[in-house]
Amino acid sequence: MKKLLIIGGAGFIGSNACYFFSKKNYKISVIDSLSYASNLNYIRPLIKDKIIKFDRIDISNYQKLNKHINKLNPQIIINFAAESHVDNSIKSPNIFFKSNVIGVYNILLSIKNYNKKNKSNKIRFFQISTDEVYGSLEKGYANENYPLNPSSPYSSSKAAADCLVMGMCKTYNIKYYISRCTNNFGRFQFPEKLIPLSIKKSLNNKPIELYGDGKNKRDWIFVEDHIRAIYKIITKGKTNQIYNIGAQNTYTNLFISKKILSILKDLKNKKIISKFNNTISFIDDRPAHDFRYAVSTKKIMKDTNWGLKNNFEKNLYHTILWYITFFNKKTNE
């Protein structure tokens, strides 16, 4: 049984990863700083049943992180921890560089020192990155060799972290993986991103707000497909490589909003909800708003035989149902 440390395991993708990897042959430890976008309740059942072990640690604190890694002796570390909301990065970029760059540096430094002392157990590192490091594409798809062209403090912090991983791992002979995934959706996502925020606004009888004309395009992947891709990379992928992860579900933000309202209308007809706001409003665009993201997934499919298992519309439907229950529970607490 391999020892796995999941960093950022109480956040959106990290908490979903905890459930996925708990069904595989891993002894799992989790750390998280428990920032506003994390929720320990998501993984509390796994903690209660002693399936995973949790500790509250901020990766910006090198001393605590280094001590913890030496105590755990993990064989694999997956880093989901990141500040990820572009709007917030525009308002407070310092927070993003503290977590997304300094935090990653601290992890790498801890691994470097650990591997130097432990010749028989070398830690492999998996950095979760983003397709946003490639910037906006007018056409075509970015492969893993596409030049980095970030457009926000968030994406530039992730691009910087990717370069840090490649450079330090090459210098100190650390085996690594980097994945760059498209937009995720599913349960446990903090309601500041497009899909959960739109659901929340509409259920609270407010219009869904879209930047500009709402025609910016994103590729949407169900979170479980993303995590399966991570698992495939760990078990079948090549080390010291970058892998794009995408679903080819490219839709405008306006399309996504209309699809959400269509599903809410169906749920109202089925008397699952009593009311919702059926309107969309358009607000001033944010600075340097990327128009389109799109990545090629030929490499991961070739190297690992990974492929999508989930249907976009079906999983969007079930995601909306999950948030209805989640918001109702929060209202009744």
DSSP string, 129-176: EEGGGG---SSS-B-TTSPP---SHHHHHHHHHHHHHHHHHHHHT--E
Residue 333 bears catalytic tag: no
CA distance 83 to 206: 27
Does position 332 have pLDDT exceeding 70, yes or no? no
User: What mean pLDDT do residues 234-242 have?
Assistant: 98
CATH of the domain at 121: 3.40.50.720
User: Pick the catalytic residue: 132, 219, 224, 225?
Assistant: 132
User: What mean pLDDT do residues 222-251 have?
Assistant: 98
In a domain, 302, yes or no: yes
Which residue has better confidence, 1 or 122?
A: 122
pLDDT digits 0-9 by tens, 268-291: 999 999 999 999 999 999 999 999
Of 248, 257, 178, 184, nearest in space to 215 by CA: 257
Q: Which residue has 């025609």 as its token pair?
A: 215
In a domain, 174, yes or no: yes
Per the document, the length of the chain is 333
**Angle, helices 253-269/312-332, rounded to nearest 10 degrees:** 70
Of 228, 214, 150, nearest in space to 186 by CA: 228
CA distance 69 to 98: 20
In a domain, 237, yes or no: yes
- Model confidence at 111, pLDDT cuts 50, 70, 90, reads very high
The DSSP H or E segment spanning 267 is: helix 253-269
CA distance 72 to 24: 19
Residue 192 bears catalytic tag: no
283: amino acid identity, one letter: I
User: What mean pLDDT do residues 71-87 have?
Assistant: 97
Does position 228 have pLDDT exceeding 60, yes or no? yes
pLDDT digits 0-9 by tens, 136-184: 999 999 999 999 999 999 999 999 999 999 999 999 999 999 999 999 9
Residue 132 bears catalytic tag: yes
In a domain, 276, yes or no: no
In a domain, 201, yes or no: no
Does position 314 have pLDDT exceeding 60, yes or no? yes
pLDDT digits 0-9 by tens, 53-69: 999 999 999 999 999 99
- Model confidence at 331, pLDDT cuts 50, 70, 90, reads low
pLDDT at 168: 98
pLDDT at 119: 87
User: Pick the catalytic residue: 19, 42, 154, 323?
Assistant: 154
3-state secondary structure of 91: helix
pLDDT at 1: 84
Percent of the chain past pLDDT 70, that is, above it, reads 99
Of 53, 42, 14, 75, nearest in space to 227 by CA: 14
Average pLDDT score, the chain: 97
Using CA atoms of 192, 253, 180, 134 in order, give the dihedral in degrees to the nearest 10: -110
pLDDT at 85: 95
The phi and psi torsions of 178 (rounded to 5 degrees) equal: -130, 130
CA distance 259 to 261: 5
In a domain, 14, yes or no: yes
pLDDT at 21: 98
In a domain, 330, yes or no: no
Task: State the chain's maximal CA–CA distance in angstroms.
Answer: 63
Does position 192 have pLDDT exceeding 90, yes or no? yes
Q: How many domains does the chain have?
A: 1
Whether the CB-CB separation of 260 and 319 falls below 8 Å is answered with no
pLDDT at 329: 80
pLDDT digits 0-9 by tens, 7-37: 999 999 999 999 999 999 999 999 999 999 9
pLDDT at 310: 85
Tell if the pTM clears 0.85, that is, is over it.
yes
Instruction: Locate the DSSP E strands across 212-268.
Output: 217-222, 241-245, 250-252
In a domain, 267, yes or no: no
How far is CA 98 from each of CA 94, 106, 324, rounded to the nearest angstrom?
6, 10, 34
User: Pick the catalytic residue: 32, 83, 131, 225?
Assistant: 131
Does position 333 have pLDDT exceeding 60, yes or no? no
Q: Which residue has 């869904």 as its token pair?
A: 208
Distance from chain centroid for Cα 175:
21
pLDDT at 320: 98
Spatial neighbors of 69 by CB under 8 A, at least 6 apart, are 5, 77, 110, 111, 114, 123
Q: 238 is in which domain, residue-wise?
A: 2-190+221-249+293-312
